[in-house]
Amino acid sequence: MVRLTRHLRGRRADSQISLTQLSALATLSRDGAMTPGALAAKERVQPPSMTRVIASLTDLGLVERKPHPTDGRQIIVSLSDAGCALIADETHAREAWMTEQLSNLTEDQVVVLTKAVAIMKQIVAESE
C-alpha cells in the first residue's frame, strides 16, 4: 500500500499544494463544509495545525470561510470553485494512471484485486 501511495503521489509532481493541504481539501470535498475543529478531528491533527492549513488554502483561493450560522465564535470552511476544480484535476490524474495500470492485468488478477479492495475497505471501516 505504501508503494502504491507513493506512485499515486508521483502523479501530482507539479501540484501547487502540499499533501496535507490536499488531504484537507479532499475531506471537505467528500464530507462537505465544516468547522476548522471538525476538519482537524477528521484529519487527525491539532486545531492550531489545521488553522494554518486553512489559512494557506484561503490565501490560495481554494477554500472559503463563512460565519457559522448559530455560533458567532466559529467559522465554516468549504471548498471554493477553484478548490473543487483542483480536487477534480488531482482525482483525474490518479484515475488515469490507475486505469492504465489496471488495463495491464489479467481478468483473474482483476478479480483478486477487487476482493482485496473489499477486504481493505472493511478493515478501514471497522477501525473508524
Domains of the chain: 1-126 (1.10.10.10)
Query: Percent helix, strand and coil across the chain, each rounded to 5?
Result: 70, 10, 25
Look up cell 488531504; give the residue. 23
Q: Give Cβ neighbours of residue 45 (< 8 Å, ≥ 6 apart).
A: 20, 53
**At 22, phi and psi to the nearest 5?**
-60, -40
List, for residues 30-78, the tens digit of each pLDDT value: 999 999 999 999 999 999 999 999 999 999 999 999 999 998 899 999 9
List, for residues 65-102, the tens digit of each pLDDT value: 999 999 889 999 999 999 999 999 888 888 998 999 99
Q: Distance between CA 114 and CA 109 in Å, rounded?
A: 8
Burial of 123 (C-beta count, 10 Å sphere; 0-12/13-18/19+):
exposed
- Contact present, 33 and 76 (Cβ < 8 Å): yes
